[in-house]
């Protein structure tokens, strides 16, 4: 009987060990995610510029972590297109790839359209109204930030706006796809660079586009909401193209002046 009891106990002990091991791994992934968020926030806020080398040792010291979660975070940020690793040279903040931007925006459009459809299906009217209230608060913050030429804050609020919409769908795979792809096209928005508009013009354009989105969302009509999302991102695609032309023009002027 003792042998039977020990046979029953032993598998249980093995299971306990496996459970403890899984918990430890989840904790490590959480630390990595914190580091990802910290570096991504620094990029959004303009603390790191395109082409700047990522200081792994300095980041580890500032965040109070070892180099391991820093390197894990860099791998994720590289998948998101925010950094690039150069063999034997280190990791650098990626520059916007305008050639691929339109394709990326098409993917972002598909993700956000699906997010809106699923969120409208899954949220109650009260929950959807609460989401719209939060988006309205973010819009007010964006207005103030863009109006005062605080591009970093405006971009951060823009990321939060669209991420909230995606998360409202409660779709794990959609959220992962968004984190890996869509978010990078918000961070490398044309507003992140010098753009040939006055602060007032930027504020009006930026605010009016999000106002149209919010107005459609408040109407709770699925097709109208999807149409608004599509229009919003199509306009962004036009911005990207115009901005790329603008940067190319500046580069040519600089070359001619040398």
- Structural element, H or E, at residue 258: none
Q: Whose CA is closest to 59, among 47, 67, 51?
A: 67
What is the 8-class DSSP label of residue 53?
B
What CATH class does 2-93 carry? mainly alpha
Question: Tell me, what's the pLDDT at 21?
Answer: 40
Query: Domain map of the chain by residue range?
Result: 2-93, 98-257
Ramachandran area for residue 85 (φ above 0: left; ψ -120 to 50: alpha; else beta): beta
Dmax over CA atoms of the chain, in Å, equals 92
- Taking the C-alpha atoms of residue 172 and residue 170, their distance in angstroms, rounded to an integer, is 6
- Count, in order, helices (H) and strands (E) of the chain: 10, 2
Q: Do 158 and 192 contact (CB within 8 A), yes or no? A: no
pTM: 0.67
Question: Tell me, what's the pLDDT at 4?
Answer: 47
What does the pLDDT profile of the chain (258 residues) look like in tens digits? 444 444 444 444 444 444 444 434 434 457 888 898 888 878 776 788 888 999 999 999 999 999 999 999 999 888 877 888 998 899 998 876 666 677 778 888 999 999 999 999 999 999 999 999 999 999 999 888 887 877 778 878 888 999 999 999 999 999 988 887 766 666 655 444 434 445 556 666 778 889 999 999 999 999 999 999 999 988 887 776 676 665 555 545 554 555
The CATH architecture that domain 98-257 belongs to is Up-down Bundle (1.20)
Question: Tell me, what's the pLDDT at 137?
Answer: 97
Dihedral over Cα of 233, 200, 241, 190: its sign: negative
Q: Do domains 2-93 and 98-257 have the same CATH topology?
A: no
- Taking the C-alpha atoms of residue 220 and residue 218, their distance in angstroms, rounded to an integer, is 5
Q: Whose CA is closest to 205, among 153, 249, 250, 142?
A: 142
What is the 8-class DSSP label of residue 171?
-
Backbone torsions φ then ψ of 91, nearest 5 degrees: -115, 140
């Amino acid at each position: 009987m003792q042998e039977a009891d020990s046979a029953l106990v032993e598998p249980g002990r093995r299971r306990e060990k496996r459970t403890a091991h899984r918990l430890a791994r989840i904790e490590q992934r959480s630390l990595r995610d914190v580091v990802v968020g910290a570096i991504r926030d620094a990029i959004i806020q303009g603390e790191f510029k395109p082409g700047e080398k990522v200081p792994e040792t300095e980041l580890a010291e500032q965040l109070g972590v070892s180099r391991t979660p820093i390197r894990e975070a860099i791998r994720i940020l590289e998948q998101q297109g925010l950094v690039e690793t150069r063999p034997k040279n280190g990791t650098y903040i990626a520059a916007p790839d305008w050639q691929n931007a339109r394709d990326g925006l098409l993917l972002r459009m598909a993700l956000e359209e699906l997010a809106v459809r699923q969120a409208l299906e899954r949220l109650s009217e009260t929950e959807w109204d609460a989401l719209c209230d939060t988006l309205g608060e973010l819009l007010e913050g964006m207005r103030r930030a863009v109006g005062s030429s605080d591009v970093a804050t405006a971009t951060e609020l823009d990321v939060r706006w669209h991420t909230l919409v995606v998360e409202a769908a409660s779709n794990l795979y959609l959220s992962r796809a968004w984190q890996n792809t869509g978010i990078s096209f918000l961070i490398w928005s044309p507003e992140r660079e010098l753009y040939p508009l006055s602060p007032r013009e930027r504020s009006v354009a930026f605010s009016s586009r999000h106002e149209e989105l919010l107005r459609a969302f408040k109407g709770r009509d699925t097709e109208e909401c999807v149409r608004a999302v599509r229009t919003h991102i199509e306009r962004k695609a036009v911005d990207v193209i115009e901005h790329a032309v603008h940067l190319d023009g500046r580069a040519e002027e600089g070359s001619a002046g040398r």
